[in-house]
Amino acid sequence: MTLTHLLVLLLVGAIAGLIGERLVSRGMPGGLIGAIVAGLVGAWLMVDIFHVVIAPELSLGGIPVLSAILGAAIVVLLFSLVAGGRFARGFRRY
């Protein structure tokens, strides 16, 4: 894996994670790092575990973008349900 490939993976993960957060109107803890993790985990789940690839699929750096966005939205939604709503974007409840 080259540095360029790693940067493309991180960029696609960030874009997928941020769009996934916006789709479900909830945020991941950690800001951009959390969004990247959600995007990469979502893409991995959708493509490698569930074998869901939306055709025709735009692929960047070997990651299908639409499947990654859908997977990231699912990861963010599941995390926010498990965390009990403690992680909302920009607001903390006390």
Please tell me the pTM assigned to this model. 0.78
pLDDT at 84 over 60: yes
**pLDDT at site 85:** 56
Quote the CA–CA distance of 61 and 31 in Å, as a whole number: 23
Residue 37 CB partners (closer than 8 Å, separation 6+): 13, 17, 28, 30
In contact, 54 and 65? CB cutoff 8 Å: no
Mean pLDDT on 66-85: 84
Q: What is the pLDDT of residues 18-68, one digit of tens each?
A: 998 898 888 888 888 988 898 889 888 988 888 887 777 788 888 888 888
Q: What is the pLDDT of residues 40-52, one digit of tens each?
A: 898 889 888 888 8
